[in-house]
Structure 1
């Protein structure tokens, strides 16, 4: 009798924990992760391509080539690690590169990204981590 009661309660409780974008199949639980969405890409069928396109446009628009003390352009590479938080705001966590001016310019460009629609996992906003390389 106890086993029957336990089994019944177990199966009834499965419906209570149902969430959007969560699929249960046998012993496997799949949680769908949705990437952040750039403003203006919400109604686009291919949001990933729209995000990439808008990011490229943003970089082209905000790009300023850093110069040294002599006024010469500095060449180099910077790798920016960032998080798009639960509110859709960009937080730079780390910048790696050999030149401080290049690092500062890469960080400035990334921090000027507008507020996005945050990424989601199981229907709830979550932090999404990215790493972006910049060549100057």
Structure 2
């Protein structure tokens, strides 16, 4: 004979209802916790300025006497002088400086000649007669021929230093040298990423041949020239 259980005493009867009520209550508590806001009291409520009576000082009233104004300047009336009548003025005759048949001709040796103000050094872009590189004497454009021959000289004498290759040194060396009045190369200046590359650039420029110097108004002058030498690892 099976035992009969009453449905009112079964715990599983309203389990879904209890679960829904508990879940709703938990969600409501979470929502209230997230939306809860608190406010801190303002610092203005605690910060107050108090001035004691001892620090308050009454400034005494003083009366300052101003200096009296300076006396007004009395302008004296101008003195009128009576000038006597001028005497008869003798007019001077201004002689002409134009040469005529009676003018004496000066000797050529007595005439002073002013020397032309020619600078000692003239930039490459403004030199009248550029320096002539050997082999460019008959070129139509000696300026372009000079630049091409210098570049050809650099490519011919270029040697990448082994130590610089091992150190993986590379970059551009800017070289400025001056063609002197006698056609020689001097005043070589360099600026590059390392001394090894600068020394190699100096060695290349030192092998430049003797040139015909540049001239300004027919006078030999110094002419600076700049060229970059690039060291690039393969």
Q: What TM bracket, shorter-length normalisation?
A: 0.7 to 0.9
Query: What corresponds to 2:178 in structure 1?
Result: 83
Name whichever of 65-74 and 76-85 sits farther off.
Answer: 65-74
Pair 69,134 (structure 1): closer, same or farther in 2 beyond 3 Å: closer
Query: Take 1:32 and 1:92, find their aligned partners in 2: how far apart are those partners?
Result: 18
Output one character per residue of 1:88-116: Cα deviation in whole Å (capped at 9) or x when no partner: 11113321122000000111111111011
Structure 1 residue 66 displacement after superposition: 2.0
**Residue in structure 1 matching 2:131, options 36, 46, 49:** 36
TM-score normalised per structure 2: 0.44
Q: TM-score, normalised by structure 1?
A: 0.72
Which runs of 5 or more residues in structure 1 are unaligned? 20-30
Q: d(CA) in 1 for partners of 2:130 and 2:215? A: 7
Partner Cα distance (1:59, 1:104) in 2: 14
Which structure: larger Rg?
2
Aligned match for 1:117, one of 206, 212, 223:
212
On the 8 A contact 1:36/1:117 being kept in 2, the answer is yes
Gaps in structure 2 of 5+ consecutive residues: 1-94, 100-105, 117-125
- Residue-pair matches, total: 119
Q: 1:68 aligns with which of 149, 163, 175?
A: 163
Deviation at 1:50, TM superposition (A): 1.6
Structure 1 partner of 2:224: 129
- 1:43-89 Cα distance to aligned partner (Å, 9 max, x none): 11121222122112111110011232774653122111211000111
RMSD: 3.1
